[in-house]
Chain A
Amino acid sequence: MSPPILAVTGLEKFFGGVHVTCNVDFAMQEGEQSAIIGPNGAGKSTFMNLLTGYHRPDAGRIVFAGRDITGLPPHRVVRRGISRAFQVSSIFGRMTVSENVRAAVQAQMRATFRLFASARTLGAGETERMLALCGLEAKRDVVAGELAQGDKKRLELAIALAGKPRLLLLDEPTAGMSIDEARSTMELVDRLNRELKLTVLFTEHDMGIVFNHARKLTLLHRGEIILQGTPAEVRADRTAQKVYLGEHHL
Chain B
Amino acid sequence: MPTTANARGPGSRLYAGFGISGPVTPLLLAAALGVPWLPGEFWTHVGTEVLIFGLFAMSFNLLYGYMGQISFGHAAFFGVGAYATAMLFTALKGADGQIGVAQFLLSLLVGPPVAALAALVIGFFCVRLTGIYFAILSLAFGELLFYIVFSWYSFTKGDDGIQGLLPPPFFQDSTNFYFFTLAIVAAAAAVMWRITESPFGYALRTLRDNQRRAGFLGTNVRAHMLANFVIAGTFAGVAGALWGPFSRSVSPGLLGWGESGIAVFMTLIGGAGSFVGPMLGSVIYTMLQAVVKMYTVYWPLTIGTIILLIVLFAPGGILGTIDKRIQAMRARKP
Contact = CB atoms under 8 A, between A and B. Distances in A.
Q: Do chains A and B touch in the complex (CB under 8 A)?
A: yes
Interface of A: 52, 54, 73-75, 78-79, 83-84, 86, 90-95, 99, 102-104, 106-108, 110-120, 122-123, 141, 159, 162-163
Contacts of B1: 120
Interface in B86-106: none
Contacts of B199: 103, 106, 111-114, 117, 119, 122-123
B218 A120 contact: no
Contacts of B224: 112-113
A119 to B, nearest CB: 5
Main secondary structure of the interface of B (DSSP, over half): helix
Contact of B216 (A74, A110, A113, A114): A74
A106 B202 contact: yes
12 contacts: A75-B215, A83-B216, A90-B216, A92-B214, A94-B205, A94-B208, A106-B202, A112-B199, A112-B224, A113-B224, A115-B195, A141-B2
Interface of B: 1-2, 194-195, 197-203, 205-206, 208-210, 212-221, 223-224, 227, 231
A187 to B, nearest CB: 25
Determine which residue in B1, B199, B202, B223 has the highest number of CB atoms from chain A within 10 A of its CB, and name it.
B199
Nearest to A159: B217
B205 A95 contact: yes
Given A107-B203, A108-B218, 11 more contacts: A52-B216, A75-B218, A84-B216, A90-B210, A103-B205, A112-B203, A112-B219, A113-B200, A113-B223, A115-B194, A159-B213
Contacts of B194: 115-116
B333 to A, nearest CB: 15
A37 to B, nearest CB: 23
A113 B227 contact: yes
B215 A116 contact: no
A147 B198 CA distance: 25
B193 to A, nearest CB: 11
A93 B210 contact: yes
A99 B63 CA distance: 20
A119 B198 contact: yes
Contacts of A75: 215-221
B36 to A, nearest CB: 32
B195 A95 contact: no
B202 A102 contact: yes
B150 to A, nearest CB: 35
Contacts of B213: 86, 90-92, 159
A212 B224 CA distance: 42
Contacts of A106: 199, 202-203
A102 B202 CA distance: 9
B197 A119 contact: yes
Contacts of B221: 75
A106 B218 CA distance: 10
A99 B202 contact: yes
A99 B223 CA distance: 21
B217 A95 contact: no
Nearest to A93: B209
A95 B2 contact: no
Given A116-B195, A117-B199, A73 B215 contact: yes
A116 B167 CA distance: 33
A92 B227 CA distance: 21
Given A92-B205, A119-B199, A141-B2, A74 B210 contact: no
Contacts of B195: 115-116
A164 to B, nearest CB: 10
Most buried by B among A75, A90, A95, A104: A75
Given A73-B215, A75-B216, A103-B217, A117 B198 contact: yes
Given A52-B216, A75-B220, A79-B218, A115 B205 contact: no
A95 B205 CA distance: 8
Contacts of A111: 199
A180 to B, nearest CB: 27
A163 B212 CA distance: 15
A75 to B, nearest CB: 5
